[in-house]
Amino acid sequence: MTKLTDFGYQQVPIEEKANKVAAVFSSVAEQYDLMNDLMSFGIHRLWKHFTINVSGLKQGDKVLDIAGGTGDLASAWAERVGNEGKVYLADINFEMLDVGRNKLLDQGFNKNITFIQADAQALPFADNYFNCISIAFGLRNVTDKLMALRSMYQVMQPGGQLLVLEFSKPVLPVLQEIYDQYSFAVIPKLGEWIAKDAESYQYLVESIRRHPDQETLKQMILEAGFDKCEYHNLSNGIVALHRAWKY
């Protein structure tokens, strides 16, 4: 019997999901940054700024940014760890990685960032290597989230920190209703007008609803092996930052 998994609200064979997600991000890569600003009214930058500020990264640290896309976090990590540190920007999608590479090279980040096409479920790094691993708005697109979290645990040093920034469940019911109306009525239309692709943004909206809520994701992170996990609700839970540690 064919095993199925979520692709937005659809059920698809598990082996097909990665290719379907790849098609989404290949389609939207060139307009990804602009669409993020429009969809969130620029607030995504504040969510990322909060993540950066609580990270506690220091000079010389080694950081992996998974599903790093166009490089918003990777560029911040590179500034934090300095030339003695090392940042790997990893993404499974070549088009997203190419946009991110060109953007960061144009900004002068050519010394301490390495770009690598990699699958979060099987990270191609040595065990116990990174001081910090981040993944922003990418975990919900992974086929097997628990496998990916276990892979992150494996390549993280003891004492290291995981930062998962992702859409989550609003804490106020009235906010959930407003958020749903905006998401389903407006975001696919923006995708149609700006990125010429309504279907990909329909998937993105649906994928958010299928993603585990705050407590469920916390338990998944602990199940993957991490010793401690806490989360911060941002914008009343529209987004949550989960922080976890490996001791």
The verdict on residue 189 lying in a domain is yes
The verdict on residue 17 lying in a domain is no
Residue showing tokens 């050519």: 110
Distant-in-sequence, close-in-space partners of 62: CB < 8 Å, separation ≥ 6: 81, 85, 86, 87, 88, 129, 130, 131, 132
Distant-in-sequence, close-in-space partners of 146: CB < 8 Å, separation ≥ 6: 220, 223, 224
Task: Give dist(CA 43, CA 169) in Å, integer.
Answer: 17
Q: What is the CATH number of the domain that holds 31?
A: 3.40.50.150
Enter the pTM of the model: 0.94
The verdict on residue 39 lying in a domain is yes
Q: How many CB atoms lie within 10 A of CB 221?
A: 26
pLDDT tens string, the chain, 247 residues long: the values are 688 899 899 999 998 898 988 888 888 888 888 889 889 999 999 999 999 999 999 999 999 999 998 899 999 999 999 999 999 999 999 999 999 999 999 998 877 999 999 999 999 999 999 999 999 999 999 999 999 999 999 999 999 999 999 999 999 989 999 999 999 999 999 999 998 999 999 999 999 999 999 999 999 999 999 999 999 999 999 999 999 999 9
- pLDDT of 111 reads 79
Q: If you compute the radius of gyration of the chain from its CA atoms, what whole number of angstroms results?
A: 17
Distant-in-sequence, close-in-space partners of 214: CB < 8 Å, separation ≥ 6: 168, 169, 231, 233, 237, 240, 242
The verdict on residue 123 lying in a domain is yes
Beta strands in the chain (DSSP E): 4-7, 10-13, 62-66, 86-91, 113-117, 130-136, 156-167, 228-234, 239-245
| Residues in the chain, total | 247
Phi, psi of 228 (to 5 degrees): -150, 140
Q: Identify the domain containing residue 35 by its residue range.
A: 26-245
Per DSSP bridges, beta strands 10-13 and 130-136 are: unpaired
Number of domains observed in the structure of the chain = 1
Angle at 122 between CA 119 and CA 126, to 5 degrees: 115
Q: Is the separation of the CB atoms in 179 and 170 below 8 Å?
A: yes
The verdict on residue 204 lying in a domain is yes
The verdict on residue 139 lying in a domain is yes
- pLDDT of 213 reads 97
Distant-in-sequence, close-in-space partners of 60: CB < 8 Å, separation ≥ 6: 81, 82, 84, 85
The verdict on residue 1 lying in a domain is no
